[in-house]
Amino acid sequence: MHQAQPKPLVELMGVAQRYGRGARQFTAIQDVNLTIAEGEFVALLGPSGCGKSTLLRIITGLNRPSEGLVRYRGKALEGVNPYATIVFQTFALFPWLTVEENVAVALKARGVADEDARRRAVELIDLVGLDGFEQAYPRELSGGMRQKVGIARALAVDPELLCLDEPFSALDVLSAETLRGEVLELWTGGSLKIRAVLMVSHNIEEAVFMADRIVVMDKNPGRIVAEVPVNLPHPRDRKSDAFAALVARVYAVLAGQTQPEAIEYGTEPGQNGQTRLLPAAAVTALAGLLEQANATDDERDPIAKLQDELGLDLDQLLPLIEAAELLGFARVESGNLILTPLGEAFAEASIQTRKEIFASRLRRLPFFRWMLRMIAAADNQSLRWEVLLTALEPEFPPEVAERQLDIALEWGRYAELFAYDDAEGRFFLEAPVAAVK
Amino acid sequence: MFKPRTFTPAPPAQSLLTRADVWLLLVLIGLLALAIGAAGSAPETVRGPEISLSLSALPFYALRSVGRMALAYALSLLFTLVYGYIAAYNARAERVLIPLLDVLQSVPILSFLPVVLLSLSTILPEAVAVELTAVVLIFTSQVWNMTFAWYQSLTTIPRELREASSIFRFSRWQRFTTLEFPFGALALVWNSMMSWAGGWFFLMAAEIFTLGERDFRLPGLGAFLHTAADAGDLAAIGWGILTLVVVIVVLDQFIWRPLLAWASQFRLEMIERDDDEAQSWFYDLIRQSALAGWAGSLAGRIDRFIARHLSRHPAPDPYLSVASQRSWLGWVMLAASVVVVGWGGWVGSVLLLSVPLAQWGEIVLSVGATMLRVVTAMTIALVWTVPVGVFIGTRPRAAAILQPIVQITASIPATALFPVLVLALLAIPGGLNLAAIALMMLGTQWYILFNVIAGAAAIPQDLRFTSELLQLRGWERWRTLILPGLFPYLITGLITASGGAWNASIVAEYVVFNQQTYQTIGIGAQIAAATAAGDFAGLFAATLAMIVAVVTINRLVWRRLYRLAETKYRME
């Protein structure tokens, strides 16, 4: 990609997307600068909630950014980009149309005569290897075949910019792998008019396998944190050292390094400074991760290997790692997870001891210190859900605040820090009830 | 879990009473007052055409009734598509239109009949006015649930399908034919079937109407049945009901079942499944006929014509409800509603001030009496529909046999049977009271039954197995498994049913039979009697009282139960 300055196809300058107004404003992405040049295959990678899908919708013109400029071939983009097309994660096929009609419908929308649209549709269905299924309905096809229809439909409009929105994440492992190869073949074959590909992904290996450049995003707020060029020739060998090194490098960027406690913890809600968001990690899944890491002889566990062994995707794994760091069960160093003695103790402990360890760690977190103080100070040491939610709202947008309270509820209940009555929507301090018993 | 097989009422609004609600109620009351004011100048005596009781007249009457239904249905469909579309795509309009739907569906339709009739008859020739009134009445009984179902399906189209239709640059027309209409078709057909059944109920009551010296009647099946009961002609009653059942079954087999079979191709689910309900022998037949091919190519030609000439540009925005500027239309509507509230309020207060205090007392008492009747009718309906519905819903084999029988029985409009009921019950003391409760129940129990069947069928298999493993028996099993599972469905059914029962009170509590008037204490009787006596102030006061009662009950009782059903008793 470093040849004689290829022409830029898409340029984003200072793009931001905000929702809501005033105190409840929520920033989905901010300060995004990105150029996609002709001939490039770019992958957008990041944890869920980092705004990569929003960015894709801005680039295709489906969303208008709150700030910044989007240019296509040097001209400001107005409305939906007619030269771009999307292959959707959930395929977005019309269930009541046959395979052929699903492809032809995209052509008809551009005013192609019925007969020509039909002929072109059949050609494309042939191209993606679905000949014989022209008259089938999507519900008769497997996931992989449905996505082939999605690809054929996207190609029907002769796009210059092909956008893939997590196109393989709803497929089983084998179909996904086959389809990746086929998409690459279409792209590198060069017989199509496509000038560039933009793929949203949360699978690191997939990105390294397919893209020329990986744009890594992070959340809160969504932004670009790194760009990693991939200079490996196609076809790429997943087992080669160079491939593994690149995967590890991207993991290291995404998982970050464990910070000193003061920075990891953040401040209490309502105080100055950044309140640390609780990662959306289920306690049982966290225990599973620690057990898995503890089961190996090695002290250092490459995160890529853990992900493989646990069969999780990145969106599920990253919050678990974050939680393990936050609770002091593990450290992250250059793409490796290292259990602390406490983490090892937790992995080996009995059910009741685990709860005690968990509770002692939670009590140190500013979020829980604040929450317990609030409940203890209330009448009868019980507090309504809404009161805590309102108290959090200056800090976070409403949905985030609610999500935080949900996570805190699960963790706190597990650790028996407090009890919760769902019918009344009330938190109670566990201790006095236990004393009565 | 809700399948679109049941009636789709607008859910009760979230807050107790918003400013928009109050304003809408005021506009509505204003319109009502204006219409009643106009009705005061209607002619003093009216004689309708004679209704013949000869059998040879029956096919003609049946045709006339079906024609009225069809016209009203066509209006409803048109209204539904336009209203739902605007509500879904215009956030500003949505804030008014959706609460309005909730208010409109809780208004007692039958109380509007005399008002609509009289005000129309002042501006139109009487025959036209009567026809139009019947059509308007049926329209108002059919339209709300259809509109809400359409609005709901427009707003629940998956985001990625919307984005796909936008990224591939569909025009509005193409988006409608490829995405929106197919997506809503199944819910629209189910609700149309329900609405059509509701339409019969009101048509039977609307074809003959006596207001004091004014005797409005329309040649039709309802008028035939009423006249036959008046004359005590049991044979004619039998033939009339038989004709009605035949008409209903024929329409079901030749129109609704085929439509349902056709619409079932638009299911969104990506799984294959066999669906007995969506089978239609007639649909299979026409699909193989030359007619189908001919109709298909005609539809294709119309589609191409519209795509080429009328709707060529890509539709603007893929998403719904983008906040928009208040347009000039919005200002005009606002101004019009101010005029209606102001003027109507003045006319209305003049009318209300002329109602003596004693009559107000009577009205309050009447509301209480009707409420007792509604509660009784609902209780009796619950007592039999819950066990029967659970029996049918949990046994697929029994359902296969009983479902069609229940459907045909349910499709006979209770108002058609009412004259017979009255004939039988008038002799015993308190007979009209019994007949009124029976009519309320007969007309509305099916909503509950169908919902119970759907709810019982939706109780997850694994919960049923678990309760068996735990050896839950008898009451314990009902309390822990069946009743909580049914609860959301029961509430939906009861909301619709109780609304219908209030409505039915107007024809149930006041009957003219053999030139003699029978009435019992109740708000329906108040409305009917005031109409008959030409007491427009009384009519307005009583109708207002009923609207207030129904809306209050909706907000205080049903809204809470509905929320409870949505949060605590939801099966996920």
pLDDT band with cut points at 50, 70 and 90 for residue B277: low
Share of chain B above pLDDT 90, in %: 11
- Mutation target to probe the A interface, by most A beta carbons within 10 A, among B166, B177, B262, B270 is B270
pLDDT band with cut points at 50, 70 and 90 for residue B3: very low
3-state secondary structure of B173: helix
pLDDT for position B392: 87
Closest CA to A159 of A286, A54, A60: A60
Residue of chain A minimizing CA distance to B268 = A95
Measure CB to CB from residue B167 to each of A85, A95, A140 and give the nearest one: A85
Is it the case that residue A4 has pLDDT exceeding 60? Answer: no
Measure CB to CB from residue A62 to each of B166, B182, B267 and give the nearest one: B166
Measure CB to CB from residue B170 to each of A57, A97, A109 and give the nearest one: A109
Report the C-alpha dihedral over residues A5, A6, A8, A12, rounded to 10 degrees: -60
3-state secondary structure of A429: strand
pLDDT band with cut points at 50, 70 and 90 for residue A12: very high
d(CA A204, CA A214): 9
Measure CB to CB from residue A96 to each of B182, B272, B314 and give the nearest one: B182
Average pLDDT, integer, range B74-90 = 91
Question: Any alpha helices (H) in A363-424, and if so which ranges?
Answer: 366-377, 385-392, 398-414
Average pLDDT, integer, range B376-390 = 93
pLDDT band with cut points at 50, 70 and 90 for residue A16: very high
User: What is the interface size between A and B, counted as CB pairs within 8 Å?
Assistant: 70
Contact list in A for residue B160 (CB cut-off 8 A) is 88-92
Respond yes or no on whether the N-terminal peptide bond of residue B43 is cis (omega within 30° of 0): no
Report yes or no: A227 at the B interface, CB cutoff 8 Å. Answer: no
pTM: 0.78
* Of B215 and B554, more confident: B554
Average pLDDT, integer, range B131-142 = 86
Residue B170 C-alpha, separation from nearest chain A C-alpha, in angstroms: 5
Measure CB to CB from residue B161 to each of A92, A139, A157 and give the nearest one: A92
d(CA B61, CA B67): 10
Contact list in A for residue B167 (CB cut-off 8 A) is 60, 62, 80, 84-86
Residue A192 C-alpha, separation from nearest chain B C-alpha, in angstroms: 18
A residues 112-141 lying closer than 8 A (beta carbon) to B: 114, 138-140
* Of A333 and A183, more confident: A183
pLDDT for position B20: 64
Question: Which ipTM was obtained for this model?
Answer: 0.76
Q: Do A60 and B170 touch (CB under 8 A)?
A: no
Is it the case that residue B201 has pLDDT exceeding 90? Answer: no
Contact list in A for residue B272 (CB cut-off 8 A) is 139-140
Bridge-partner residues for A330, per DSSP? Answer: A339
Q: Do A109 and B166 touch (CB under 8 A)?
A: no
pLDDT for position A435: 41
CB atoms within 10 A of CB B454: 20
Q: Are strands A426-429 and A418-421 parallel, antiparallel or unpaired?
A: antiparallel
pLDDT for position B386: 92
Share of chain B above pLDDT 70, in %: 86
Residue of chain A minimizing CA distance to B172 = A109
- Mutation target to probe the A interface, by most A beta carbons within 10 A, among B167, B172, B183, B564 is B167
Report yes or no: B314 at the A interface, CB cutoff 8 Å. Answer: yes
Average pLDDT value over all residues in chain A: 87
Q: Are A143 and A171 in contact (CB under 8 A)?
A: yes
> Which H/E stretch holds residue A336?
strand A336-339
Per DSSP, the residues of A220-233 read TTBEEEEEEE--PP
> Which H/E stretch holds residue B528?
helix B523-533
